[in-house]
Amino acid sequence: MTAVPAVEALLFDVFGTVVDWRGSIARLGAAFAEGRDLPPVDWAAFADAWRARYQPAMAEVREGRRPFVRLDVLHRENLDAILADFGLESLSAAERDELNLFWHRLDPWPDSVAGMTRLKRRLILAAQSNGNIGLIVDMAKYGGLPWDVVLGAEVVGAYKPRPEAYLGACERLGRAPGRCLMVAAHNDDLAAAADCGLRTAFVRRPEEKAPGETYDLVPTGDWDLVVDSLDELADRLGC
C-alpha cells in the first residue's frame, strides 16, 4: 500500500460494498411470504439465485449483444427466470413488480451511513453502481445514504467493469481518474478501476458472502487502501 491518495471524489460500488443485498433480499422475501399462501422458500438461497443471474445478464449488454437497458429490467427478467425453481411461478405481475423493488430497499451495512457522513464533509461521494438511477435514489432515501451525486451505469451508458463506466464517471465529475478513488468490496471492480487510472480502496465485507463462498474475502491486488468499514475509510482519508 502507498501513501494516502490525494483524491477529490469517491466512486462507490453499492451492492455489497455499501448495502447488504443478500441479507436484505432474504429478509424482505420472508416478510413478503408472511400471510401469503406460498410454498416454503429458503429466501437466502432465493437471493443467491437471483444474484447469480446478475453478471450474465449484464454481460449481454457489456459484450454488445443487447442495447443498454437499466438494471431494473434485468432484475425483473432474472426474477421471472428463477421463480419456478422456488415454486413461485404463480406470482402475479404486480407481485413480481413488488419483489423487483426489493432492490430499491436494501439495508446499509451498520457503518455505511456514519462513515459516508464523515467522508462527505471533504470529498464528493458518487454512487458508481450498476444499479439504475431510480433504484439508487430510492435506496438512498430508504437507508439515509448521503450521496452527492448518483452516477453509475444509467448515467454513463455502460456496466462495470467496462472501462467506459469508470472513465465516464470521472469525466462527468470533471476530475482526472487519478483524483478519483473507487471504493468496492470486489477485487474485479477495483482491478478495472485501477486499469483506468483511478485510485482504489478495498472494503472487506465477509458478511456479503453465502456460507462457503471464498472469493473477495481478501484483497488480491495492490490496492491503495484496505479497510474493514467506511468508518475506517474516513479515518484513513483524514475525514
Residues in touch with a copy of itself (CB under 8 A) = 72, 124, 132-138, 140-141, 147-151, 154-155, 172-175
Q: For a copy of itself, give the closer residue by CB, 45 or 69.
A: 69
DSSP state string for 70-90: -HHHHHHHHHHHHGGGGT-TT
Strand, coil or helix: 155:
helix
Q: For a copy of itself, give the closer residue by CB, 120 or 204.
A: 120
Quick one: which H or E segment has residue 190? Answer: helix 187-195
Q: For a copy of itself, give the closer residue by CB, 45 or 137.
A: 137
Q: What residues contact residue 14 under an 8 Å CB cut-off, 6+ apart?
A: 127, 129, 131, 136, 139, 152
Q: For a copy of itself, give the closer residue by CB, 66 or 122.
A: 122
- The grid coordinates of residue 85 equal 425453481
How many residues make up the chain in this entry? 239
172 vs 160: CA distance, rounded Å: 16
* Smallest gap from residue 148 Cβ to a copy of itself (A): 6
Strand, coil or helix: 9:
strand
* Smallest gap from residue 147 Cβ to a copy of itself (A): 7
* Smallest gap from residue 179 Cβ to a copy of itself (A): 12
* Smallest gap from residue 131 Cβ to a copy of itself (A): 12
* Smallest gap from residue 11 Cβ to a copy of itself (A): 12
Q: For a copy of itself, give the closer residue by CB, 168 or 219.
A: 168
